Amino acid sequence: MKGIIMIIDGMADRPLEELGDKTPLEAAKTPNMDRMAQLGVNGIMDSIKPGIRPGSDTAHLSILGYDPYTVYTGRGPFEAAGVGVKVLPGDIAFRCNFSTANEEGIITDRRAGRIRDGTDKLVDTLNSMELEENIEIIFKESTGHRAVLVLRGEGLSDQISDADPKHDGKKFKKVVGLDGSPEAERTAAVLNKVIKKSYELLVDHPVNLKRLENGKNPANITLPRGAGAVPNADPFNGKYGIKSACIAETGLIQGIAQIAGMDVIEVEGATGGIDTNLDNITSSILKNASLDYDFILINIDGADEAGHDGNLNEKVEFIEKVDDVIGKVMEIKDVYFILTADHSTPISVMDHTGDPVPLVIKGPDLRVDNVNKFNERAAASGGLCRIRGSDVMNILMDLMDRSTKFGA
């Protein structure tokens, strides 16, 4: 038997007056999800704990069986892994902006005119940077003005402040150690040098001279923030004795899979938005489910985006489109298929909340319950009752007959 967990990011919600007191999931036409609820065992899940508002990263860690309170050190490491830096435990990773600075170090545009092209060339130049300290500097471009930075070497710490002033018109901030440790002091000193050198290397860079010629703001400085030490996470495959893959749209979730040691499958046209190519995602799921993977984690992100935007119609429409994907995945044979969300992203809040999310498991030999709709309220009366994210892999491994007995 195989296992599939499909996470429709931020799908769960709260009742809305404009929907006659229904949630978007209750209002959406979802014949396939409802059929899955009828055929399966249902419940609600707190991805971390009741009332805790999860990030997508901490929620996914928890659902994969990692304790986010020990493994999670910030977004930096997962973003870095997600854009393809092979991070190692102990590396310090940052999210960065390419920004525009003037000669006094005042940041005149935090997003460097929303630069789209040429950041790979800027990164090549930045990666030639040498420091007296024995520390390796790894920059990698991400989308738009975004990039990541990884510091690798002995005696580093993630307990340091951010350089990003967060507002245009302010000088970039001097990075300082936060816990008084020599490691934090050293890392802060290194980072201050890296920022200064980034300006020296980029100010006359051909990419920037060209931008100036075209009246665009140059990307002449990098501003790191969100330092996080790459966690020493038990490899997922070894932990459960399985071969696993992840199909996800965002660098954040791909990075979690990467750090956990799962195979990360890229899908063309997967944007993480409501415009994503769901046909390509479906084909990728069907193809990879026919390979020798025991477990596939899937994340589809558009409903979360619609939730953050407070766009009710888009959220309902996207859920209805995802329902078609679920119909196809339900046809895969010999699989325990779990459908859920990582957290609620209510339209009324436009951010994540701690409300539990519905979860359904379909597969052979289940104690099928009486739930016949897939939504937040119907699921609450199902046979799984209320579980936590950290229960999900245990339940799946037990069903897949890959658990060992605890005791005699």
Q: Please report how close the Cβ of residue 282 comes to Zn ion at its closest, in angstroms.
A: 20
Contact between 15 and 21 (Cβ < 8 Å): yes
Select the residue whose beta carbon is closest to Zn ion and give its number.
Answer: 56
Contact 72, 61 (CB under 8 A): yes
Question: Least CB distance from residue 358 to Zn ion, whole Å?
Answer: 15
Amino acid making up residue 290: S
- Share in percent of the chain as helix, strand, coil (round to 5): 35, 20, 45
Nearer Cβ to Zn ion (194/259): 259
Tokens linked to 76:
């930096």
Is the CB of residue 62 less than 8 Å from the CB of residue 388? yes
CB-based burial label for 290 (10 Å; 0-12, 13-18, 19+):
exposed
**Beta partners for 338?**
5, 361
65 vs 389 by CB, closer to Zn ion = 389
Task: Mark the segment that binds Zn ion (CB under 5 A) among 8-16, 17-25, 84-92, 170-178.
Answer: 8-16
Give, in order, the Cα–Cα distances in Å from 89 to each of 71, 73, 160, 178, 366: 11, 12, 18, 21, 40
State in angstroms the smallest separation of the CB of 303 from Zn ion. Answer: 9
Q: Which range touches Zn ion (CB under 5 A), out of 145-153, 188-196, 337-345, 376-384?
A: 337-345
With contacts defined by CB under 5 A, how many residues of the chain interact with Zn ion?
5
Shortest distance in whole angstroms from residue 41 CB to Zn ion: 24
Sheet with 263-265, side-by-side order of all strands? 263-265, 244-247, 295-300, 2-8, 335-340, 357-362, 41-46, 385-388
**In this structure, are residues 47 and 54 in contact, taking their beta carbons and an 8 Å threshold?**
yes
342 binds Zn ion (CB under 5 A): yes
CB of 57 to Zn ion, least distance (A): 8
Interface segment toward Zn ion; rule CB under 5 A; list 4-12, 266-274, 316-324, 363-371: 4-12
Q: In angstroms, what is the minimal distance from the CB of 382 to Zn ion? A: 22
13 lines the binding site for Zn ion (CB under 5 A)? no
Compare residues 56 and 62 and give the one whose CB is closer to Zn ion: 56
**Residues within window 53-72 making contact with Zn ion, judged by CB under 5 A:** 56
What is the x/- site pattern for Zn ion, positions 288-317, by CB under 5 A? ----------------x-------------
Q: In the range 21-60, which residues lie near Zn ion by CB under 5 A?
A: 56
Among 3, 9, 227, 363, binds Zn ion (CB under 5 A): 9
Q: Write down the least CB distance from residue 252 to Zn ion, Å.
A: 9
**Rounded to the nearest whole angstrom, what is the least distance from the CB of residue 249 to Zn ion in the complex?**
11
Q: Which is closer to Zn ion, CB of 78 or CB of 98? A: 78
Closer to Zn ion by Cβ: residue 100 or 390 = 390
User: What is the distance between the alpha carbons of residues 367 and 378, in angstroms, rounded to a whole number?
Assistant: 17
Tokens of 378: 């119907």
Give dist(CA 325, CA 270) in Å, integer: 14
Q: Name which of 12 and 138 has its Cβ closer to Zn ion.
A: 12
- Using the minimum distance from each CB to Zn ion, give the nearer residue, 342 or 369: 342
Which distant-in-sequence residues (6+ apart) come within 8 Å of 189 by Cβ?
none
Q: Which two tokens stand for residue 292?
A: 């020798």
Alpha-carbon distance of 126 to 63, in angstroms, equals 37
Return the number of the residue (183 or 309) whose C-beta is nearest Zn ion: 309
Minimum CB separation of residue 363 from Zn ion in Å reads 25
Instruction: Find the binding residues for Zn ion in span 148-167 (CB under 5 A).
Output: none
From 9-17, 312-320, 358-366, 391-399, span contacting Zn ion (CB under 5 A): 9-17
Smallest gap, in angstroms, from Cβ of residue 26 to Zn ion?
Answer: 20
Which residues lie below 8 Å from residue 70, measured CB to CB, with a gap of 6+? Answer: 231
Q: Which is nearer to Zn ion, 304 or 369 (CB)?
A: 304
Nearest approach, Cβ of 10 to Zn ion (angstroms)? 5
Beta strand extents in 160-268 (DSSP E only):
170-171, 221-229, 244-247, 263-265
Per the CB < 8 A criterion, the answer to whether 43 and 338 are in contact is no
Nearer to Zn ion, 34 or 304 (CB): 304
Residues that bind Zn ion (CB under 5 A): 9-10, 56, 304, 342
